[in-house]
Structure 1
Amino acid sequence: MIGEIGELAVSQRFLHISFQFDTRSRLEAGIDGIAEVMLEGRPLAQMIAVQVKATQSGTYTGEDDNGFSYLLRPKDLEYWRPSNLPVIIVLYRQSDESFYWKEVPRGPGDSDRRLQFDKQRDVLDRNAVDRLAALTVPKAGFGYYVPPLGGGEHALVNILPIILSNEIYVASSPHTGKKATSILLEGDEPARFDWVINGGSFWSFHDPRNSVCRDIVDVDQVEAVETSYLAFHEDLDEQNKFSFLLRQTLRHQTAKDLNWEKERKLLYFRALEKNIPRRFHYEASQKRTHAEVVNVITSKKEEDKGRIDFVRHHAFAPRFELLDDQWFLVITPTYYFTIDGFTPHSYPQALLAGKKRMDNSASLRGQVILWHRLLSQKQKAADDLFERHTVQEPCLQFETPPQVELETSVPEDVWGEPKKKAEDTSGQERLAV
């Protein structure tokens, strides 16, 4: 009974994703149906053999939130290997109406009997149609072009339009930038560095007369000018100077939450305590969620269980670009590694490469949204009725990252084939978006 229900459910699922599906007769020996790739309702004569394995409830072998494994029977594998069609196995579970699929390996040997399923990547839904169609491309010769079948999608651009304050404060200064920094560090008040000095000219979005910066400028020469006059200057050196001011202001604005890493020029979430994770709660695309922005990774070896291997911090490399009379903050998500949350890791390159291999479009999209929410905290507080009684400093404000409509979706394969879970020591998490 459950076998019949499973075949019917899988047949309907293929029809739902716009594939044709024909079940075979009761004489079948290990192929339950044939799926045909279709493009806008037109059959392409590209066939996939499908075997359905259905269960009413229960869990698969080693199942967790990320995936599970499934062991093929040697007799089934022997039957499928010489097939002139690509063969996939579809696992259907009635209790939660889940559908997962995987291609059956071809060629001699039985080393690939155990299939590893990823609960995000291997779901049988509309996101899988391009990968399914790719199975029909001959592996020998030059192959054939299979058009993308997944429909369009919204792509998030990793740039944030900047809303600049109306005024910028300009003054003359008798000091170089290096000397001014020394004066502020030696003073009694907390130093601040959201300014730039170049050629005896001081620029800042805050009034230096009301801060410790009064010690590094000619106070009687301070004046407010329109930001647009300096922000969109035609001289490239002036644009670079303004870009540096934006970066210094961003660092000052986020100093409570982020540290600056000088060598790679990136901002990363600071740890609040030694060897303690940190979460950041924010509003994602559709709901309130959170991300572990400081991850404490422990050893997976039984003999070293509980030992801390490293600490991974969410980070991004900020870059400011002037495009068509609009300044943008370009966000390049990355990671920073320490041994305890504070001491830099001696060999971060291998850790970074391993983590980058696990990133996909969903996690990168989530990180761009996360950074926008963090950078928008100050402007949100400034709009809060309960916060207006406090004096708010001018700050950079950021609009939401723009979206573009793509005619076809980008398959996850484009992001690179992730390594097997057993080889992942980076503690990969998926961000909810």
Structure 2
Amino acid sequence: MKKIGTSAHIGDSGIALIHQMTNKMGYVWHERAGALDAGIDGEIELRDPSTGEVSNRVLFVQSKASDRLFPGETDRGFHYLCKRADVDYWMSADNPVLLVCSHPQTGEAWWVHVQPWFADPGHRASGRVDFDKSTQRLDEGAAQRLLNLADPHGRAHVAVAEHRNEDLTSNLLPVAIPALLYSAPTEYTDPRQVIARQRERADEDVRHDYILRRGHVYSWLPPEESALRRITNGPTDVVETAEWSDDPTRQRWLVQLLNYALQRDVSIDCAWHGGRKVVFFRPTPDLKPRNIRGASGRQREVFKPKFKKKTPGEISYCKHAALQWQFLRLEDEWFCALTPTYHYTRDGHRDSLFLSDYLTGIKRLDRNLAVLGHARMWATYLHGEEGVFEPRETILTYGKLVNFTANRAIDDADWLSDPRKNDTDTDSEFDPLTTDELALFEVEL
């Protein structure tokens, strides 16, 4: 009668445990046939969990499983003695080799990268490997470290999400829109003529928050209550915005009106740039820096002139906090997706000749926290928190940025690091924004 010994069964359980852990990391386990085993039990191949794409980057694995305690095992660690032939075989490999010691019955496993450990002459002479249970556990949390081993030069370097909760702040700002808008018949079809007609009297407020569609003008305010009354030739009708939200064509009309509404809501402080489709904070009359206090109480510069080094009294360019946005309807609710950016002018009004260069430079410098702070500043400004900004009338009512908790997270250091670059690498390109620039216009106090 054929039998499978206890040690073989435990060994097979150890490999099964490695297979299970590899799958949880999102990688692929390839087991080698037992007859061909010469010190390597299998391979871990990198795989992008989000796309399923495999990268042909592998780690060799040798499994050592036991249901008994390993030599010197405590709650903190243990050691394992390796055969010289095994060590020589592992050290000759071109790929990283992992030695994995496990207790299949408890579902615990620990790993060590063999090559750097046995590069120490003392370790190689003794054949002993010391394991720290707290730092060398083989589980889902080891995914990023294994990725760095298999792909040290970044050829397939993708940060892998860990199974842990992370609080996230989105760029989605809930928006409450008026329930009604107003319509009146008109013979005008050219918006430029509408603006010119409104400007016939200098003492009236010119409205830009309207659209012309199918012989009608639509606006957030009844036309008879604004300068738009000059272009109408009939009575005003009331339209429910809920009806427009459910019709694809009229929803596009509504989005255009929402865009005009936001421009109107910030017009007391911000100018509209039609070419870039952004609003940006206007310069101060004396071109001095302008600060606004955010919700955290810290000052943020939203306008700042930069002076030439050789002629300190002459302005090189002006930097403005700016905003791009997009209105979205998600699950029957309206949101404004904020995309903070910057604008650069020569004198606070005319575009800088180096606008594109400055934008490229600042976006290369900005990191996640800077962008997050910038988005929060705009959200706070639109929301109009009491005691933070001067009160102003707005067409739309803005909420606060949507927050949620994800059950997967990526370590920022791993996400931002580029293993292909050394710490001594420098960027030789000229960057006009690297001097005296504070992240997110943050003011030094």
Return the TM-score normalized by structure 1.
0.60
Q: Distance in 1 between matches of 2:115 and 2:77?
A: 9
2:89 maps to none
Show the 5 A alignment for 1:203-352: 203-218=218-233, 221-230=235-244, 232-234=245-247, 236-283=248-295, 287-299=296-308, 303=310, 307-352=314-359
**One-letter code of the match for 2:112?**
A
C-alpha displacement of 1:131: 8.5
Is 2:112 the partner of 1:45? yes
Task: Please list every run of 5 or more consecutive structure 2 residues that lacks an aligned counterpart in the other structure.
Answer: 1-75, 79-106, 122-141
The structure 2 residue matched to 1:190, chosen from 177, 182, 205, is 205
Q: CA RMSD in A?
A: 4.2
Is 2:382 the partner of 1:375? yes
Q: How many residues are matched?
A: 308
Show the 5 A alignment for 1:60-99: none
Q: Which has the larger radius of gyration?
A: 2
Q: Distance in 1 between matches of 2:115 and 2:222?
A: 69
Does structure 2 retain, via aligned residues, the 8 Å contact 1:165–1:394? Answer: no
Indicate the SS of the match to 2:298. Answer: strand
C-alpha displacement of 1:393: 5.4
Show the 5 A alignment for 1:358-369: 358-369=365-376
**One-letter code of the match for 1:349?**
S
2:404 maps to 404
Moved more, 402-411 or 336-345: 402-411
Deviations 1:375-433 (A, max 9, x none): 112x859xx9x98xxxx85610122121232321352564576996996531442347x
1:139 maps to 152
**One-letter code of the match for 1:291?**
R
Deviations 1:226-282 (A, max 9, x none): 22122x142x33122111111111111111111111111111111113542111212
**One-letter code of the match for 1:359?**
D
2:172 maps to 159
Q: Pick closer, same or farther for the CA change 1:199–1:366 going to 2, 3 Å.
A: same
Does structure 1 retain, via aligned residues, the 8 Å contact 2:182–2:238? Answer: yes
Does structure 2 retain, via aligned residues, the 8 Å contact 1:171–1:223? Answer: yes
Indicate the SS of the match to 2:175. Answer: strand
Q: Distance in 1 between matches of 2:183 and 2:375?
A: 33
Q: Distance in 1 between matches of 2:346 and 2:217?
A: 39
C-alpha displacement of 1:336: 0.7
Q: Distance in 1 between matches of 2:112 and 2:370?
A: 36
Indicate the SS of the match to 2:112. Answer: strand
Indicate the SS of the match to 1:375. Answer: helix
Deviations 1:25-54 (A, max 9, x none): xxxxxxxxxxxxxxx9964425999xxxxx
Deviations 1:132-154 (A, max 9, x none): 88765563697898855694422
Return the TM-score normalized by structure 2.
0.58
Q: Distance in 2 between matches of 1:257 and 1:403?
A: 27
2:4 maps to none
Task: Please list every run of 5 or more consecutive structure 1 residues that lacks an aligned counterpart in the other structure.
Answer: 1-19, 23-39, 50-81, 85-128
